Chains A and B, each alone.
Chain A
């Protein structure tokens, strides 16, 4: 399969390039443009990025493989990153993960046969205050997870209903 950027993508890339004195720093944002377009940055996509930017393929490959949030292979439509780092773990992160594994019939790191869900176990996403939590495809956070909440989330996502962005106030410290 050959990949190509659309006209809008190319305009976006030009805007990104204009922000930097050199081309190299544009690698990261342009990889995002590519991943948003194609859903992943497989080697062919990395090559496309390298060609578009006029950078060595090896450089783009090195950058793409350094960051885990660039998907180097095809993933499901929704990637569920379940945090199991300390706070989430204590509040039941593994329960959520195992519940999802049972519900989706896959183990962590795998994609469902219908190509809708990929399940990952990840380290801290910086939302310890609302543990346990998961992130959907590098974007929406879903917080204070319970099994019921997860079931509803899966049903919603099957209908392409993404949860709203949640704004959670931090508890104010009482000033004496």
Chain B
């Protein structure tokens, strides 16, 4: 097998590898800025310098030449090489900064060069704390700069597009953003303007950087040159918790991280999943943080004398039960939701079958022509396939309206059907409508009972994406009834750990008074005398689903976590992209 020697240790390899990536995959480190595993390697930051050599071979015999000690004779490359664009070859000998002083010196000097015109404004820079330039300067950089004259000034606070702001002085011209628009989003909107120490990335004059994937450049930027217009100056990185989750704004199910502080989701960034979204996510998905924070239904609401008022949980259970018992079982319509998780839909279906009611139906939310074949889909809901796999019947808007008209009690799971135009106010006029919802909407306004349920940022639940991959979320923000310190799936940041309710950085109001649907349904089932219904967590429900529903066989949270989602069989694509 082919071999390569890195810092004196022999490694075997197969196939083709870029040297830098190979070193990283070994868990070792070489500093770099411009390289990105999903894009081309122009080697223009010059930071990943290493010393590389090949053993000398006798051309006639094909044997390696040996010196007097019996060691292979190495012919070194005349200069240090950038490891990002060099492919490893059989017998190659590599020295990184760990074993070669020249390499160490080269990296240090390169950092000094990069920092010549870089404003040292880390204290007010959004990137501080997650800044490769900052980290690598600490690790490999010089102690100080020998540059004593005035730095070059460039434009600051340039609004490149609706979502991205440029600070050209911080830019180190790695061209990652330019390559992103050229190679990944293919809008070709950015370029490097000017040259020498005056260059920086910009869109063509008079054009906006309005790429639907533009915010990925903010994540890519190895310095604070590109910042998100929305997240700018909102929080320091080290004050936030990072919780893995799934994008619920379309059917692709891009893997994301939710960044929370004081139980507010402050930003959303993509998380690597080679099978789904690689390193990227659409800008729209990042807007979803508002859904998790703002306009939330907190406390059950009930219509009394045609006016919705706050109610109690006990009251909500009793009212709903009273309504369900007062009508014939066939007069209850249960509507599942492609916007809710597999677990929530399942629990609704389970309740229906145990009570002898009609199985839930659902209607998917498709916007034709929205999809782009990449990470944006026509389907605006994250879990239509999950509903299909649970055996829910898919209906068009007309039949849904007809079902609702006929029914006397309607249970509606977090799907804003009135806002979507599937139902009208008239359809709901003569029926008792109970809505399980995360956010206020026109639909909840019309409901007789609104039960606040947890959103994707507050519970662990799974979603089946457009390709049939089931992936799950983790609870990121607390509700009134959860606690970070008791729930081992929740991450705990510095502020959470050391804050108390008497601190001014802890706000009790940010915790929503809502419950997971399964907890509410369990109380409802208990009150109505159903036995063996109680399921207390998404994990438990998924265990039951995988036992009972053939499509979900072998699915569990453990396997999902291990394999970054499970591809389910038997999913037919109904929407193209």
Contact = CB atoms under 8 A, between A and B. Distances in A.
Contacts of B202: 58, 61
Contacts of A60: 204
A47 B202 CA distance: 15
Contacts, number: 40
B205 interface: yes
A61 B191 CA distance: 7
Interface stretch (B130-138, B192-200, B400-408): B192-200
A78 B202 CA distance: 30
30 contacts: A43-B204, A43-B206, A46-B204, A46-B205, A47-B204, A47-B206, A50-B204, A56-B191, A56-B204, A57-B204, A57-B207, A58-B181, A58-B188, A58-B189, A58-B190, A58-B203, A58-B204, A58-B207, A59-B188, A59-B191, A60-B204, A61-B193, A61-B202, A61-B205, A62-B191, A62-B193, A65-B193, A65-B194, A66-B194, A66-B195
A57 B188 CA distance: 8
Given A56-B191, A57-B204, A58-B181, 8 more contacts: A46-B204, A56-B188, A58-B207, A59-B191, A61-B193, A62-B191, A66-B193, A66-B195
Contact of A62 (B192, B206, B207): B192
Contacts of A62: 191-193
Interface of A: 43, 46-47, 50, 56-62, 65-66
A58 B181 CA distance: 10
Interface in B489-511: none
Interface of B: 181, 188-195, 202-207
Contacts of A61: 191, 193, 202, 204-205
Contacts of A57: 204, 207
A58 B180 CA distance: 13
Contact of A56 (B189, B195, B205, B206): B189
The 4 closest A-B CB pairs, nearest first, are A62-B191, A56-B188, A57-B204, A43-B205
Contacts of A59: 188, 191
A58 B206 contact: no
A61 to B, nearest CB: 5
A101 B204 CA distance: 34
Nearest to B196: A66
A57 B193 CA distance: 12
A146 B68 CA distance: 70
Contacts of B203: 58
Nearest to B209: A58
Nearest to B203: A58
A21 B195 CA distance: 27
Contacts of A43: 204-206
Nearest to B189: A58
A60 B192 CA distance: 10
A47 B204 CA distance: 9
Contacts of B204: 43, 46-47, 50, 56-58, 60-61
A166 B203 CA distance: 42
A65 B192 CA distance: 9
B441 to A, nearest CB: 40
A65 B193 CA distance: 6
A51 B141 CA distance: 45
A56 B204 CA distance: 9
A47 B190 CA distance: 14
A71 B191 CA distance: 18
Contacts of A66: 193-195
Nearest to A55: B188
A62 B191 CA distance: 6
Contacts of B195: 65-66
A47 to B, nearest CB: 7
B46 to A, nearest CB: 19
A58 B194 CA distance: 12
Nearest to B186: A56
Nearest to B181: A58
B164 to A, nearest CB: 14
B201 to A, nearest CB: 9
A43 B189 CA distance: 15
A47 B194 CA distance: 17
A58 B193 CA distance: 9
Of B188, B195, B204, most A-chain CB atoms within 10 Å:
B204
Contacts of A65: 193-195
